[in-house]
Amino acid sequence: MTVFASATQPPVAVIVSDPPAQLLLFSGIVVGNNDPLFIVTSSAIQHETLDLNLNFPTGRIIASTSTVALASIGSSEGVAFTFATDTSTIAQDPNTGSLSLIAELSLQSETPTWGGWYPSMWINRVSYSAQVLVEIEQPIIAGTLRWSERDVAAESWPALSVSANSVNWSPPGGFGGFTPGPVVATGVVEPPVLASGVNTATYLITGVPFGQQVTVLVTALPSFKLLHGNTLGFYRSGNTANPLTLTPTQSQQQNVDFVASVSTLS
């Protein structure tokens, strides 16, 4: 049987500078909700699993250690018992980056000499500790902006700006389209390089919040001049998902590329 529990105490975090990493120190007591965590009902060895959600999303795990120990037990009078931790590991949700401590336990108690009754042993609380070293990766969105030299001239630089904006769905719930909302992070656009009549500028947006849907907005500044037509738009190229959502385990979205399109509207 697997017992699911949730940690209530945040970790102590220590920054390690070389290479950039964070050491997370977890400890606490797991208590059952008005009932024992585990009940032993047989004199045979009883295998149990504790799945403890540590409630802390992180980057990639570099190394980890963990353990679980007995904190509170009840038993019938005169009954010998065994509590053993067989394995203790740290797992990570690939979608959210949240950490869990998974412990495999072996429990056993003898039948009372006076005949007794079952259960003869019950585990009320267990203690835990975990030390997890994780990567620190800066959340970024990066890509290129391209335009033809026949369509647009950048009279000075910077001529373009980029930002990560929140997403407003219409209607709410995400079944229709979306429009850009407020800016949540800004970026830098490097000066363009001209090759075969096409200008290519790289950009980098940092500080994008984890877990929030965002869309990249490219804005032309006054020095970005149309050479013909009267309408300019930058459109996504490639197969990158839109909107974007960064997570601790997928903290970077690269190759988010845009191509300029110029048209004439009457």
pLDDT in tens, 56-70: 888 889 999 999 999
Residue 230 sits in the same domain as residue 150: yes
Alpha-carbon distance of 178 to 253, in angstroms, equals 20
Q: Give the list of residues 6+ apart from residue 115 with CB closer than 8 angstroms, or none.
A: none
CA nearest to 166, candidates 184, 142, 140: 184
Shared-domain flag, residues 118 and 154: no
| Same structural domain, 123 and 202 | no
**pLDDT given at position 186:** 94
Same domain, 22 and 75: yes
- 119 and 160, same domain (yes or no): no
Could you give the CA distance from residue 256 to residue 192 in angstroms, rounded to a whole number? 16
Count of the separate structural domains present in the chain: 2
The domain in which residue 35 lies consists of 2-135
**Are 72 and 153 contained in the same domain?**
no
In angstroms, how far is CA 18 from the centroid of its own chain? 23
Same domain, 172 and 229: yes
Which has the higher per-residue pLDDT, 27 or 247?
27
SS (H, E, C) the chain: CEEEEECCCCCEEEEECCCCEEEEEEEEEEECCCCCCEEECCCCCEEEEEEEEEEEECCCEEEEEEEEEEEEEEECCCCCEEEEEEEEEEEECCCCCEEEEEEEEEEEECCCCCCCCCCCEEEEEEEEEEEEEEECCCCEEEEEEEEECCCEEECCCCCEEEEEEEEEEECCCCCCEEEEEEEEEEEEECCCEEECCEEEEEEEEECCCCCCEEEEEEEECCCEEECCCCEEEEEEECCCCCCEECECCECEECCCEEEEEEECCC
Q: Is the pLDDT of residue 52 over 90?
A: yes
The dihedral sign for the CA sequence 53, 54, 59, 65: negative
Q: What is the rounded average pLDDT for all residues in the chain?
A: 84
Same domain, 152 and 211: yes
Higher pLDDT, 152 or 3: 152
Q: Model confidence at 37, in pLDDT bands (50, 70, 90)?
A: confident
Is residue 258 over pLDDT 80? Answer: yes
Residue 32 pLDDT > 90: no
- Domain end call among 81, 115, 135: 135
Nearest Cα to Cα of residue 209 among 167, 248, 256: 248
What's the average model confidence in pLDDT over 73-99? 85
Please report which confidence band the pLDDT of residue 238 belongs to, taking 50, 70 and 90 as the band edges: low
pLDDT at 131: 95
pTM over 0.85: no
Instruction: Mark whether 130 and 11 lie in a shared domain.
Output: yes
C-alpha 110/C-alpha 80 separation (Å) is 6
pLDDT, average across residues 234-244: 75
Same domain? 104 vs 198: no
Of 135, 153, 183, which residue sits at a domain end?
135
Residue where a domain stops, chosen among 90, 115, 135: 135
Residues 7 and 121 in one domain: yes
Q: What pLDDT, on a 0 to 100 scale, did the predictor assign at position 111?
A: 65
Q: Please answer whether residues 92 and 145 qualify as being in contact, where contact means their C-beta atoms are separated by less than 8 angstroms.
A: no
pLDDT in tens, 163-183: 999 998 876 655 567 888 999
> What's the whole-number mean pLDDT along residues 237-262?
80
Mark whether 16 and 126 lie in a shared domain: yes
